[in-house]
Amino acid sequence: MSVTVLVPTTLRSFTNNNSELELVGNTVDDVLKNLLSEYPEAENALFDKNGELRAFINVFLDGVHIDELNGFNTEVKDGAEIMLIPAIAGGSGKESVIGERQGEKLSNDEISRYSRHLLLKEIGLNGQRRLKAAKVLIVGLGGLGAPLAQYLAAAGVGNIGLFDYDEVEISNLQRQVIHRTRDIGRPKVASAKEAVKNINPLCKTETYNIQLNEENALEIIDDYDIVADATDNYKSRYLINDACALLGKPDVFGAMYQFEGQVSVFYAKEGPCYRCVYPSPPPPGLVPSCAQGGVMGILPGVIGTIQAAEVIKLIVGGGDSLIGRLLIFDAWKMKFRELKIAKRSACPICGKEPTIRAVTEYDYDEFCGLKQEEKEEPIEGIEAKELKRRMDAGEPLTIIDIREPHERAIVKFPATKVIPIGQLARRKDELDPNIDTIFICKEGKRSILAIRTLREAGYKGAMFNLKDGINTWARDVDKSLPQY
């Protein structure tokens, strides 16, 4: 049978950047084996050392998770569509998550401001008063948090928590439209609060210019009705999910990478949680962040606005929420796909026998691979200035640039050999183990993955990671180069 396999952006480096593959097979297992036969570099990305599908990968056949069918033995029909969905990181007539709680009577000015809502029978006066009474926490004030804050404030959400620890950088302005050029260097919570006030002075805001962690998550989230997850790292996503599950709060999730976005509502009281869909995160470095892989500027506007719509529906009640559904959007192809997701009975936070009972007792750093294992050989780094010294001294070095061609067009690094990260294992014989090898990328994170990949492939030569990547070279060595 001829089957189309849809490859997400985060895995395309292992399939020669092909987004759609035409493969044959009688079962899902046959098709995936044929995929690996044609693209052997993809095996490490999709399967662990025991040959088991990695937990952060989901496989859907014609929009249905194969776990709800016959797993890998599910038969495929001619023309079927298999979709691989990695972490990027239903129902109708729902009651309001805030119950019958309503804000104070609307003033004449508020009636004028929100008149287009009041004309909708699905929202009306009662719904608008619920919006006024609601408390929504937005965690992350970047690309996704920007439209969330703007549209929730404009819609009349009475109390908005703004949570972010970063400052505004010039590279943020391409998509984080809540911040302005004049805000560069300011805390994001400060510029976001100012923007919210300018949109709707009736909206009360609370700012949290701190890092979300195991010690403060429950206390802060407990004070809100809904959390909108607009973060960009796996530790925060699992921590938010777990805190919401323990407290009985809905987690309105959004994620994006390059041209693709995901949206869902993880509400353990009524459907699956984030862990049900992604039991574990990918290995560090395998799925790049937007800072490493880029993102189309309008994408967070689409995804963040959909998140805002889900928040509003949860507050006013009614409508078809994304509980039990994962919405996938591809901006480049302008396609939406909807996938059904189910609660896992073995989920450690919301399953039948939960094992996570307190976020303070769970090691999120270890779970997300942020700790170096005791037996794991450390990755040695080299500072940009030290690399420059060794290059000027004429020391024998092999410098490997693992960036994509379009990245190398932005900034060229001198005297490098180009090997894409997906080709490293099979091209290891091109390296001389008697000469130090330096790996470079944008920020130094993909280089660490490259070194680990070569170690697993049996390469024994000395390898070094350019600390903080080519951006630190532009900052500390060659200031004529741009940082990106």
244 is catalytic: no
Bridge partners, residue 416, by sequence? none
List 203, 290, 350, 368, catalytic entry:
290
Residue written as token pair 């630190």 = 472
327-to-318, 324, 335 alpha-carbon distances in Å: 19, 10, 11
Q: How far apart are CA 278 and CA 87, in angstroms?
A: 6
Rounded CA-CA distance 470/473 in Å is 5
Dihedral, CA of residue 43, residue 49, residue 54 and residue 59, to nearest 10: 50
Asked if residue 291 lies in contact with residue 471, where contact means CB atoms within 8 angstroms, the answer is no
Respond yes or no: is residue 276 known to be catalytic: no
Q: Which residue has the tokens 């959909």?
A: 306
What is the pairing mode between strands 226-229 and 251-257? parallel
DSSP letter at 269? T
Q: Which DSSP string do the residues of 37-69 spell out, in sequence order?
A: HH-GGGHHHHB-TTSPBPTTEEEEETTEEGGGT
Cα separation of 26 and 1, whole Å? 6
Cα gap 35→54, rounded to integer Å: 16
For residues 317 and 127, the answer to whether their CB atoms sit within 8 Å is yes
Alpha-carbon dihedral 144, 146, 150, 155, rounded to 10 degrees: 20
Q: Write out the catalytic residue numbers.
A: 290, 441
